[in-house]
Structures are given as C-alpha cells and as structure tokens.
Amino acid sequence: MEDSGTERGLLRVILVFKNHSALERIRGKLESYFPNQCTIDSFYSLSQAIEKIEGSVNHYRLALIEQEGQGVVLLKAILGLLPGVVIGVVTENTELIAPLSTKDFTPEVLDPSDIESGLYRILKKSAALGRLPSPELREQEEFIAIGMESLSGLTPLKSDVYARIRKDHYVCVFKKGSILETGDLKKFIDSNRTEFHVKASEVKDSLTQVSARLDELANASEVSQAQANQEFVSTHSLLRDVVGQLGFTPEAQVIAKSCVNMALKVLGSKPKLSEILEDLKRKEGSYIPAHSFMVGNVACALAYRIGWSSSATFFKLSLAAFLHDISLKSEIYAKLRDISSAHEAGLENEEIKLIKLHPVQASEYSKQFAEIPSDVDIIISQHHERPSGDGFPRAMPGKLISPLSALFIMSQDLVDAVLENPETRFEEFFKDNAAKYEVGQFRKILGLILK
C-alpha cells in the first residue's frame, strides 16, 4: 500500500503542521496545483510524523514542515528520514535552519505569515530543476472573490474590480479610484451576481484603506451605533472573503483588531443592555456579520451588568464575537445550533463536518494573532457548547465551560431570541430559561443578571 503513490507516478507529499487551518489551506493549494496527481499524508506534530515514516520506505518527493519549539532535534530527525526529498521548513527563525544545510542539501525556508507564496516559489524552482512535476498554474489563482457586502466598504476603490464571466475569464467592471454608490451595484444585484473579483496582489491596498478608516473612526468624537454597525458589517464581510482565500494575514489581523476597537469605542464603557437590545431591532447587513456585531455588543453589556466591566474583558468578548463564525461560508451553517438539526436539514456529511469544526478553525485563527489573551480562543472554541453538555464540537459538560464562554453562549441565546421576537425583554428571557442555565458558571452569571 505504501508503494501505490510511486507506482502510479503520483506526487507524494508529507505535510507536518500543528496549525490545522494552515495545513488545510496548503493541502487545498497543492490539490489545485496538481489536480488528481498528489497523495498527501498529513500530521499535526513532528513526533507523530517521525513515528509513521520511521522504518517505512520513503516515497515522498515534497515535504512541508512547520518548525516546532526552539530546538531542531526533531526537525533534524525527520530530515534524516527524508533523503532526496524537496523540503520546505516553515519558520520565522532562519538562523535555526542554517546548521541543517549540508554540501548537497539546503532546506527551503517559508515565512509563516505567507506560506502560500513560499510554496509557489519552491514549486516553480523545483519544477525548473526537474525535481518535481510542473504545477498547474491557472489564471484564477491571481483573483480572489469578494461579495457585494465587502465591496460596499471599499469605496473609493483601491484596485480594479472584475466580474467573472466564465471560468478563467474576468472583465473589469469598476476602475481603481471609482466611488461606488448603491445604484452602481443594482444592475449586478438584479442579474443575481453575488460576487466580484479583485487581483490577490492588489487586495493589500484595500485592506490598508479599511484599516486607516477604522482607526479614524475610533478616534472620531461622534460616531453613531448605526455607523459602527455598518462599518463592522462591511469589514467583517471583507475579512471573511479574504481570510477564506488567503489566510489570516498580518494585515487582516490588524484590521480585525481595529474593527473591534472601533466598535468598543462607540459602545462605550457602560453599555446598557436594554439600549443595546433596542438597537438590535435596526439590523444592518446579512446574518453572519450582523449577528457577530450583535453578540459582541450584547456580551459586553451583559458583562457590564454583572460587574465584569474591564476594558480587557470587553476586548476579549468583542474579538471573540468578530471571529467566532468567520470561517463559515453560508448563513445557513451559522444559524444551526445543534448537529442533529443539520442532519434533519439534509446537509451533506462534508457540510456537517465544516459546521462541527468551525469553532476549532476560528479558534486556530485567533491563536495566530500576536498579543491577544488566550481567553479569546477558549471562548471561540466553546461557543457552541451547551450548559446541558450536548453542544459541539466536544459535547463538554456544562460545568467545565469557562466563565467568559458561558457569558458568550448566553449572549448568543439572547440575540437569537431577540432576532426571532424583537419584543423580547432580557429579564423575562433569562427568567423563562433559568432552568437551562442551572449549572456551573451559567448559574453564577444568571444569578448576577437577575439580581
């Protein structure tokens, strides 16, 4: 069985990444570069990979390995097991790698913040040297799709915007510098177009523009909740598009933080729950960005009500709200509250897997952020767990759910209830649902809310 890859002339690849989302992104890239040609073995740790390949015949031709920790012992061990293989090591610490080079072998180094470009470089170089087959480089790789909602936040345009007419064929519909007005998009909406494209190489300029605008708003004296809502929705939509295709780049991380800071500035340090709920009636934008904004605001208002009112807590809750559903493509997925209703809705197994794992994927994103508290990834990874212990992905017992996660989950429940019935009052909601929250941190928070 180990031989099958070579016999069929397939490109056999080994990927070792502790970061699951990076691993999936690279797997997707390789499969698009070598359609039906590559067999990929993936591992989440070097020791796991070493254990698997030790003693077996090496048929790999390409290995991409994320450096773990401060030392190179394991890295050295795995390189010793992969003679003749094209090796790429993902690390910021190039000096660490230098001693691993020999007369005949130098590992390629890939920058963790832009693994895709590094991969592309290695593939081109190895193909030119005849060490790997030539990758299929399609024109569509150069474009990324952005939705209508994202485009609304990019005016005046920092790059040309294209419509895809058919596969690999794009036509420029808005020139760089254009100011977009609602009417400009109408004919596209009427023709059922849901997305446009921009060149991936030009998206950075648009991100910088959004970042500058968010900082300006955060420093402005008068910004309304409605304006904050609108900015949040367009920024969230843009990042969801970009991150899904290019990963959570450092620019995207800066924007997510700026957007959260802007929203918190407008929210103020003493958010009143009843006023926030009143604001929810005036919903802006489609479900995923809109409810992310609402959940963040409601969570901060609930936190304030129960005396957890530090700015650090607000930041954690708000950033968690921004990120929690960012990996989901469809609002149907984001609206599901339990896996059994996903089965009942007739979703495919693959879709159910995506839903089940989105808290893990979003928490992986948050771990990539520099300088943010670890509570954020805990809130995100637990946001679909339930006090009753039948949530997902881990079906954690309610008493083990962290305090901030419990508060976040209760905020989501309240937002769901308000979206279903705008007349919902929070005191009644929590009284009516008290039995549900009679466990662990939920019980404590409930007591404080109703005090």
E strands present in 17-81: 38-43, 62-66
CB of 49 to Fe ion, least distance (A): 31
**Residue count at the site for Fe ion (CB under 5 A)?**
1
Closer residue to Fe ion in complex, CB, 325/377: 325
Write the binding mask 238 to 257 for Fe ion: x where contact by CB under 5 A, - elsewhere: --------------------
Closer residue to Fe ion in complex, CB, 251/325: 325
Helix (H, G, I), strand (E, B) or coil at 164: strand
CA separation for the pair 362, 380 (Å, rounded)? 7
CB of 412 to Fe ion, least distance (A): 6
Find residue 318's DSSP bridge partners: none
Contact 236, 292 (CB under 8 A): yes
Closer residue to Fe ion in complex, CB, 85/294: 294
Tokens encoding 321: 């709200």
* Binding segment (CB under 5 A) for Fe ion, from list 206-214, 277-285, 323-331, 437-445: 323-331
CB of 196 to Fe ion, least distance (A): 26
Helix (H, G, I), strand (E, B) or coil at 300: helix
* Binding segment (CB under 5 A) for Fe ion, from list 59-67, 251-259, 264-272, 324-332: 324-332
CA separation for the pair 142, 202 (Å, rounded)? 10
**How far from chain centre, in Å, is Cα 354?**
12
* Binding segment (CB under 5 A) for Fe ion, from list 100-108, 224-232, 320-328, 340-348: 320-328
Q: By CB under 5 A, tell whether 385 contacts Fe ion.
A: no
Q: By CB under 5 A, tell whether 413 contacts Fe ion.
A: no
Contact 144, 246 (CB under 8 A): yes
Q: By CB under 5 A, tell whether 325 contacts Fe ion.
A: yes
Closer residue to Fe ion in complex, CB, 218/376: 376
* Binding segment (CB under 5 A) for Fe ion, from list 127-135, 318-326, 369-377, 436-444: 318-326
Instruction: Write phi, then psi, for 162 (nearest 5 degrees).
Output: -115, 155
Residue with tokens 């994927």: 361
Cβ-count burial of 312 within 10 angstroms (0-12 exposed, 13-18 middle, 19+ buried)?
exposed
CB of 324 to Fe ion, least distance (A): 5
Contacts to Fe ion by CB under 5 A: 325
